[in-house]
Amino acid sequence: MSEKDNLHNADGNDIKKKEAITPEKSATNDQNASSDAITSTEKTDTPDAVEGNGNPLEQTTPETPKEEAVTETSSTESDAAESETSSPEEAPAKKKDAQEEIEASNAEDAEDDSNVERHSLEEKDYHAMSMDQLADEFESLLKNKKVQTIKSPVEEIRTEFNSKFSEVLEEKKDDFLSEGGHEIDFFYSSPVKKRFNAIYNDYRNKLNAYYKTLETNLKSNLETRLRIIEDIKGLLNVEENINTTYKHFKDLQEEWRTAGPIPRDKYNNAWNTYHHHVEIFYDFLHLNRDLRDMDFKHNLEQKLKIIERAEELAKDDNSNRAFRELQVLHKMWKEDLGPVGKEHREAIWERFSNATKTIHDKRQAYYADVDKAHEANLEKKEAIIAKIEEVAKDNVSSHQAWQNKIKVIEGLRTEFFNAGKVPIKVNEATWAKFKGAVRTFNKKKNTFYKNLKKEQYTNLQKKLELIKIAEDNKDSGDFETVTPLMKKIQSDWKHIGHVPRKDSDKIWKRFKAACNHYFDKINAERNAANQEQVDAFEKKMQLLDEIKELKLSGNAEQDLETIKQKTEAWNALGQVPQNKRFIEGKFNKTVDGLFNKLELDKSEVEMIKFENKLEHLSQPDDTRLLDNEHHFIRKKIDEVKGELNQLENNLQFFSNIDESNPLVKDVLKNIENHKENLAMWEEKFKKLKELY
């Protein structure tokens, strides 16, 4: 850029001339002015010499004697341009790398005014997010950010989402095939996948609409800028007062500043052509040296401020932020300011280049540290993959063991996703190795459960046969023959083993209904023939009323003895009719209320209550109530064991935390409560088995 460029915007105010400058006077004015014009189209790396960059979009100039003189200087540039272009050519390669990177970015900004917002987006570890979290993050970006600024994070989110969904899809497919399905029939979708696709479609529609509008605007803005260039060229042929012409020129420059973004591939040529004809216009004006020196002084002051800011940025620890602001400084240096006095040019450019190099080197060092961190993450992930492969090698043969292994693998998978990014060159290979290890484990797991399902199907057929026997004999009146048979098939049912979960409750209800129907029929006939049970019911009703009115003394031992006496008296009255057995529940509830008032150990009271309950469940020739209790207690034991295992597994996550931690204390207390609960149920089960 020549010394005479940007005089109109050096301080933002109109320049007042002492006298009008006419074309006739300019011919005899400062003879050095023409030598300062820069019209070369050869490329230079110097931001100050931007008007000499690239090939002009339009090199045809008005055929005036003055312009011909300017054109003749294109092969030998003026001293002003030479001193501005010499520094970067002599600079080290790294300086050029930084400057070229900045130039390329600023050219890209010419097409999109959202560059600052794009660079200000927060970097997040999408690799560690679940599919639901990725969908949430995508939706948030689309809702809160400009659609043209989120391309990079959207592509990263999409890549991570597709990788995770692909893994789930492969697992579902393996499960489908292991169950006997055909590959051609396999189909799987999920709500989160449908949601993600909907968000992505919305993103594409918005992005397409934006680019469609942008294309129209870029074309219009380019046409406006080219028209401004033509208008500046035309000022040389306007026959009017030079002050009026100069005012028109300033208006065109202001219009240029606000014309809006243009296509990036047109950016450099547009700027070069514009500055080329601005040079010609200033040369045409032949401004006096005082005004030029004033412009030099202003430009020097502004460039020193830019240098000072660049040197401050060179000390900033955030290299990415410093580099982004450095781009803005270079753009200001190139586009907003003109040259300075010849004696200052090389020195200030060298200072600015040195600050640029420092920021660039720190940025490169930052990325080198990032690469080291990625290498460390790769080592972590390789170790995790090795653990998964080791778990997959271990062969186990029980459902519980496989459930434990599944939990271990899930923990390793979470650890893998949280380990961070790895170098791009090995990312796909690492991901493929991880998926291969998990797939190997899943195949072995699926094989086990496939065989288990076969065994459960065999058990289902056996139980269906027992159901048929029970249903065929439920209405039989041959009690002497059928009763032993019904008891036998009840015993056989317990020893057959598990059936598929979807059939378990359904077949149990059928079997239970058939057996209950038979034994209810026996009990009904026995009750009809046994007046003694009816009498027992009447007596128990009276005794129950007495117990309800019973007042405890407050002495635990004495009150316990009183309750035992009442219980013994109740049991001594014998059985009641089948349809009157509800009274036993009322008695148990009333006695439980009395026990709760005693100041005794909870476990001791619970066992006393249970022993009392067993006495009521024991009936000659009818084990249904005991069987039901047996089934109930076994189920409770399994439930408590499962909860205890879960708590103990959870405790492993606190291995490095002090036991005084409130959260750890709470888990330990919960484990102790479950152990006590398990011991109580096992003791009940032991008491129950003694009755068989």
Residue 453 lies in a domain: yes
What distance in Å separates the CA atoms of residue 386 and residue 207, rounded to the nearest whole number? 43
Residue 32 lies in a domain: yes
**Is 578 in contact with 622 (CB distance < 8 Å)?**
no
Residues 361 and 276 in one domain: yes
Residues 134 and 74 in one domain: no
List residues bridging with 622 in a β-sheet.
619
- Whether the pTM exceeds 0.75: the reply is no
Q: Where are the alpha helices (DSSP H) in 623-661?
A: 624-651
So what's the pLDDT on residue 180?
66
**Is 248 in contact with 281 (CB distance < 8 Å)?**
no
Residue 80 lies in a domain: yes
Q: How many domains is the chain built from?
A: 3
Residues 519 and 437 in one domain: yes
Residues 16 and 81 in one domain: yes
> Domain limits at 81?
7-110+263-367
**Is 180 in contact with 450 (CB distance < 8 Å)?**
no
Residue 157 lies in a domain: yes
Write down which residue in 168, 190, 207 finishes a domain. Answer: 207
Residues 143 and 189 in one domain: yes
pLDDT digits (tens, 9 = 90+) for 304-315: 999 999 899 889
Write down which residue in 470, 502, 529 finishes a domain. Answer: 529
Residues 130 and 80 in one domain: no
So what's the pLDDT on residue 287?
54
CA 379 to chain centre: 23
What distance in Å separates the CA atoms of residue 64 and residue 595, rounded to the nearest whole number? 119
pLDDT digits (tens, 9 = 90+) for 371-409: 888 889 999 999 999 999 888 888 887 888 888 988 998
DSSP assignment letter at 504: H
What distance in Å separates the CA atoms of residue 263 and residue 178, rounded to the nearest whole number? 56
Residue 177 lies in a domain: yes
What distance in Å separates the CA atoms of residue 456 and residue 498, rounded to the nearest whole number? 6
- Closest-CA residue to 295 (of 687, 6, 593): 6
Residue 31 lies in a domain: yes
Query: What parts of the chain have a pLDDT lower than 50?
Result: 1-92, 288
Helices (H) and strands (E) in the chain, counts: 24, 0
List residues bridging with 619 in a β-sheet.
622
Rounded to 5 degrees, what are φ and ψ at 621? Answer: 65, 20
Residues 479 and 522 in one domain: yes
**Is 588 in contact with 611 (CB distance < 8 Å)?**
no
So what's the pLDDT on residue 5?
34
Residues 105 and 137 in one domain: no
Reduced to 3 states (helix: H, G, I; strand: E, B; else coil), residue 46 is coil
Cα distances (Å, whole numbers) of residue 209 to 111, 142, 143: 16, 14, 16
Residues 133 and 104 in one domain: no
Residues 44 and 17 in one domain: yes
Residues 37 and 98 in one domain: yes
Residue 133 lies in a domain: yes
What distance in Å separates the CA atoms of residue 306 and residue 327, rounded to the nearest whole number? 11
CA 277 to chain centre: 53
Write down which residue in 484, 499, 529 finishes a domain. Answer: 529
Residue 674 lies in a domain: no
Assign 3-class secondary structure to 433-494. HHHHHHHHHHHHHHHHHHHHHHHHHHHHHHHHHHHHHHHHHCCCCCHHHHHHHHHHHHHHHH
- Closest-CA residue to 207 (of 116, 129, 112, 107): 112
Residues 131 and 91 in one domain: no
